[in-house]
Amino acid sequence: MSPRGGQSYGFPIYCAAWLPLAHILKPDPPATDADADASTPSPPRPPMAALGGGGGEGRSGVPNKLVVASLDPTVPAGEEAALCPETVVQVKTKEEVPYRMAVHPRGDGVLCAFPNGCRLYRWESQEEDEVHKLALEPDQEALAELKDVGLQLAVSFSGEGSILATGGEDGHLRVFKWPAMGSILTEADTKRSIKDLCFSSDEKFLAVNRSSGPCKVWDLKSSEVVANLTREAGEIFGFCRFSNNTDSSNILFITAMQGDYGKIISWNTTSWTRVGSKKITREAISAFTVTPDGALLAIGTIEGSVIVLGSKNMRALVTVKKAHLGIVTTLAFSDDSRTLLSTSFDSTARVTSVGPPKSKSTSIWPVLLVIILAILVYYCMQHKEELLAMLPL
């Protein structure tokens, strides 16, 4: 049974991402002269998301696959959005389950991390009944540098798509220029696996969290470490994401578990000092993301809950308890920062409408009341003798 608002796809979902359709889909063929006058503009394509996962090796009967699903355009306005149960694309990955995913922001394809290495799937546009259909095909020659390297627990393209970074279960960090795959930096640490990594929006920094120790920040131009962000007593770092401030500066958010609490810590990216820390939940944090505009944060928990917070004060704006019946595996905000995609081991993908944080508006009535009272007080002071004379003393 799927939780309310979730769409089940029949396999545990480990990874997911929204697709940059403007860079992927070709426009539909123009109408012919014969029906140009009668034709109407085609409606915009609904947003689409890629989902990956499966049952793993063995004979569980649960397939391993990579699928693409679109938002359901039949959902009435005002109701909660949802993904369609029917998929647009299905790619079976045989005995290999996609554990992690990185979608190239300029449409170069979908990178999937499998137990033994990575594979790139290229977008193909197939014509059917004069409408372009989307397809994914494996590129057998790409990513030779990432074949047979073991499971990569973190994979990410930079914001402009010019850099690719992967972090292995074996602790090996690899950073490449894209698409040439020339090495920018590499670091092997066989004692500490990589849990998460992220790029700053200006592609200047790369933050890397490992299973223990500090968060290490690399300068990608010099390939040198510029900061080691240390943990306080009892903290265990989890996920990391850079975010933009309104003044175009960056801030780094890191999730951490400390005792029974899941917290979010913020860091200044100039001085690399802590500027904030707040306990958010008593459930372990299993997923984390930030909106493209930096206004919102979202966490998912091992209990299936989803919480959306304002990035400035970290106050909860939306809380969905038991959004999923299992661990939340992935969170992803849409490009307009208004829609949150969450997925889970329970085979469901859920879409939550959040919107940007609303500024506190001051009602005009309290202001008017103060003005009126001030006028009355002033009038009474100016006409005190006449008012006293009117009293029935």
Residue 317 placed within a domain: yes
pLDDT score recorded for residue 80: 81
Q: 216: which 2 tokens?
A: 């290490």
Give the CATH number for residue 263.
2.130.10.10
The answer to whether residues 331 and 386 belong to one domain is no
Task: Please check whether residue 49 lies inside any domain of the structure.
Answer: yes
The answer to whether position 220 is within a domain reads: yes
Shared domain check, 285 and 210: yes
pLDDT tens sequence across 99-123:
999 999 999 999 999 999 999 999 9
Q: What pLDDT shows up at residue 83?
A: 95
Least confident of 254-258, 314-318, 370-374: 370-374
Task: Report how many domains make up the chain.
Answer: 2
Has residue 347 got a pLDDT over 90?
yes
Mean pLDDT for 83-109 is 96
Confidence of residue 387 (pLDDT cuts 50, 70, 90): very low
Domain match, 379 and 346 both: no
Same domain, 138 and 81: yes
Q: Is the pLDDT of residue 16 over 80?
A: yes
Rounded to whole angstroms, how far apart are CA atoms 281 and 271? 28
pLDDT-above-90 percentage for the chain:
72
Q: Is residue 315 part of a domain?
A: yes
166-183: b or e for each residue (b if 16 or more CB lie within 10 Å)?
bbbbbbbbbbbebeeeee
* 373 shares a domain with 247: no
Answer whether residue 107 is part of any domain.
Answer: yes
Taking each continuous run of H as one helix and of E as one strand, the counts in the chain are 3, 28
Residues 373 and 307 in one domain: no
Q: Is residue 337 part of a domain?
A: yes
Residues 234, 201: one domain? yes
Q: Is the pLDDT of residue 126 over 70?
A: no
Does 63 have pLDDT greater than 60?
A: yes
The answer as to whether 1 is a domain residue is no
Q: Which of 123-127, 256-260, 369-373 has the highest mean pLDDT?
A: 256-260
- Mean pLDDT of the 203-230 span: 96
d(CA 26, CA 332): 24
pLDDT at 125: 75
Judge if 173 and 279 occupy the same domain. yes
What is the arithmetic mean of pLDDT over 16-28?
87
> Do residues 136 and 242 both lie within one domain?
yes
What's the CA dihedral at 9, 13, 18, 23 to 10 degrees? -90
pLDDT at 382 over 90: no
pLDDT digits over 291-343, tens only?
A: 988 899 999 999 999 999 999 999 999 999 999 999 999 999 999 999 999 99
Chain segment 227-241, per-residue pLDDT in tens: 999 999 999 999 999
* 80 and 38 assigned to the same domain: yes
Q: Are residues 384 and 294 in the same domain?
A: no
Asked which of 9-23, 28-42, 183-197, 260-274 is least confident by mean pLDDT, the reply is: 28-42
Percent residues over pLDDT 70 in the chain: 81
Q: Do 209 and 238 contact (CB within 8 A), yes or no?
A: yes
Q: Which domain holds residue 124?
A: 6-363
Average pLDDT score over the chain? 87
pTM given for the model: 0.85
Query: Are both 389 and 257 inside the same structural domain?
Result: no
Grade residue 368 by pLDDT with cuts at 50, 70 and 90: low
**Residue 349 resides in a domain:** yes
| CA separation, residue 375 to residues 294, 364, 384, 388 (Å) | 44, 17, 14, 18
Q: Is residue 1 predicted with pLDDT exceeding 70? A: no
